[in-house]
Amino acid sequence: MSGSRIVALGHYQPPKVLSNDDLAVLVDTDDEWIRTRVGIRTRHIAEGESLVDLATEAAQKALAHSGRTAEDIDLVVVATCTAIERSPNTAAAVAARLGVRAPAAYDINTVCSGFSYALATADHAIRAGAARRALVIGAERMSDTLDWTDRSTCVIFGDGAGAAVVEAQEEGAEPGIGPVVWGSQPEKGDAVVITGWDPVISQQGQAVFRWATTQLAPLARQACERAGIDPSELRGFVPHQANLRIIDAIARKLGLADAVVARDVVDSGNTSAASIPLAFSKLVERGELSPGDPVLLFGFGGGLAYAGQVVRCP
Ligand code: UT7
């Protein structure tokens, strides 16, 4: 096999929307602070829908868009940091709901960079001949980790899911998923913390902000180099949706020419491992990207881990 490609995307967000004004009733905050510091206007919050519900909805849409069925899938990977159940894992639960027969099914937790890690492992499995067609899902119920009295976190995060159908390409075809650049700074791991049995998220916001705006652009550039493409040739840039100021700082440093930059954080907040497939799927659905367009995905966050790759738009 010469590699794999994304054939379709899908996404799902729970219907309940919280505005900045809604949050200003709960904590000492205001719309102006949230918009100027983070860029968020709204976020979706799950009520009565589980993590598996969100992941399954997104996966069903991706499958429908791909024209394939559950029977065609032999690998399911879910990137998430908010799974409550240890067994069965989220991937197995989603596979059971969809009726996927006998898949390899596993979860990955590298927090906000999870989708790019999951996509890389699916691509590697397909290249190795261990799978032919995968569902790769990023799904989060970040609201489970929120302290609704902590203004430094409860205004930032949201719930949602995005999914991709990934399949093998024939010999000689140009790879639709480029080489991954991944790594971490484990010595800085305590900058984003979600620990314990009833976990609450906390982060050293400024430390993560500094790391993201000073260290990541060269790594994102490396992902382009490894795919044999100059950043100025990118048609799309879909980074993790943590903060509009971080997204714009990395985009500026990359010297993008006429790439569409995903700014879904404005509507969806930070949905951790779901943010990249969610934002990517929306850009494709709105026709802002076209089939074959080179798009740089770049995830970063807790760990502090990062991963990115250039993919061809489905
Ligand atoms: O996705 C996982 C990876 N995480 C990230 O990438 C996050 C990166 N960091 C960030 O995006 C930003 O650091 C935050 C959005 C988290 C915070 O923005 P900031 O500009 O770094 O604010 P800060 O934490 O330095 O706080 C500045 C002030 C403080 O008040 P004092 O001490 O200056 O009086 C905070 O108490 O803003 C205050 N503050 C708020 N004020 C109104 C913190 N949260 C709020 C709030 N509303 N919601």
Per-residue DSSP letters for 94-118?
HHHHHT--S-EEEEE--GGGHHHHH
Q: Give the residue whose CA is nearest to atom 4 of ligand 1.
A: 301
- Answer whether 310's CB lies under 8 Å from 296's CB: yes
What are the residues facing 298 on neighbouring strands? 239, 308
pLDDT value at residue 52: 98
Domain count for the chain, please give it: 2
Domain contains 175: no
Tell me the average pLDDT of the chain. Answer: 97
For ligand 1, is residue 242 a contact (CB within 6 Å)? yes
In the predicted structure, residue 186 carries a pLDDT above the cut 60: yes
pLDDT value at residue 171: 86
For ligand 1, is residue 155 a contact (CB within 6 Å)? yes
* Tens-place pLDDT, residues 38-53: 999 999 999 999 999 9
pTM of the model: 0.98
Boundary (domain end) residue, out of 146, 168, 190: 168
Q: Are residues 92 and 40 in the same domain?
A: yes
Q: Give the residue whose CA is nearest to atom 13 of ligand 1.
A: 205
Q: Which atom of ligand 1 is nearest to the CA of 272?
A: 1
Contacts of 62 (CB under 8 A, 6+ apart): 8, 9, 10, 135, 163, 164, 165, 281
- 190 token code pair: 């305590």
Q: What is the CA radius of gyration of the chain?
A: 18
For ligand 1, is residue 211 a contact (CB within 6 Å)? no
What are the residues facing 6 on neighbouring strands? 166
pLDDT value at residue 154: 98
In the predicted structure, residue 130 carries a pLDDT above the cut 80: yes
- 97 token code pair: 């709901």
Where would I find the beta strands (DSSP E) of the chain? 4-12, 17-19, 42-44, 75-79, 104-108, 133-141, 159-168, 181-184, 192-195, 200-203, 236-239, 260-261, 294-301, 305-312
State the alpha helices, DSSP H only, in 257-311: 265-268, 275-285
- Cα atoms found within 13 Å of the Cα of residue 130, Cβ hemisphere only: 11
**Active-site residue 112, yes or no?**
yes
Q: Are residues 34 and 115 in the same domain?
A: yes
Q: Give the residue whose CA is nearest to atom 16 of ligand 1.
A: 205
* Tens-place pLDDT, residues 270-314: 999 999 999 999 999 999 999 999 999 999 999 999 999 999 999
Q: Are residues 132 and 211 in the same domain?
A: no
- Answer whether 76's CB lies under 8 Å from 134's CB: yes
Domain contains 98: yes
pLDDT value at residue 1: 55
**Active-site residue 270, yes or no?**
yes
* Tens-place pLDDT, residues 77-103: 999 999 999 999 999 999 999 999 999
- Domain ranges, residue 9: 4-168
Q: Are residues 134 and 56 in the same domain?
A: yes
Boundary (domain end) residue, out of 168, 199, 215: 168
Q: Are residues 118 and 71 in the same domain?
A: yes
Q: Are residues 156 and 8 in the same domain?
A: yes
Residue of 65, 240, 243, 313 marked catalytic: 240
Q: Are residues 68 and 207 in the same domain?
A: no
Position 22 confidence tier, pLDDT thresholds 50, 70, 90: very high
Q: Give the residue whose CA is nearest to atom 20 of ligand 1.
A: 37
C-alpha–C-alpha distance, residues 51 and 46, integer Å: 9
Boundary (domain end) residue, out of 140, 168, 196: 168
Q: Are residues 163 and 190 in the same domain?
A: no
Domain contains 27: yes
In the predicted structure, residue 2 carries a pLDDT above the cut 90: no
**Active-site residue 224, yes or no?**
no
Q: Are residues 33 and 160 in the same domain?
A: yes
* Tens-place pLDDT, residues 235-261: 999 999 999 999 999 999 999 988 999
Domain contains 301: yes
Q: Are residues 75 and 149 in the same domain?
A: yes
Q: Are residues 198 and 307 in the same domain?
A: yes
pLDDT value at residue 172: 87
CA of 6 to the centre of ligand 1 (A): 36
Domain contains 107: yes
In the predicted structure, residue 263 carries a pLDDT above the cut 80: yes
Beta strands at 75-79 and 133-141: parallel, antiparallel or unpaired? parallel
- Answer whether 52's CB lies under 8 Å from 242's CB: no
- Write the single-letter amino acid at 251: A
- Answer whether 253's CB lies under 8 Å from 245's CB: no
Domain contains 43: yes
- Answer whether 298's CB lies under 8 Å from 220's CB: yes
Domain contains 242: yes
Q: What is the CATH number of the domain that holds 231?
A: 3.40.47.10
pLDDT value at residue 274: 98
Domain contains 173: no
What are the residues facing 168 on neighbouring strands? 4
* Tens-place pLDDT, residues 131-180: 999 999 999 999 999 999 999 999 999 999 999 999 999 888 889 999 99
CA of 163 to the centre of ligand 1 (A): 30
Q: Are residues 160 and 22 in the same domain?
A: yes
The percent of residues above 70 in pLDDT, for the chain, comes to 100
Residue of 11, 65, 81, 112 marked catalytic: 112
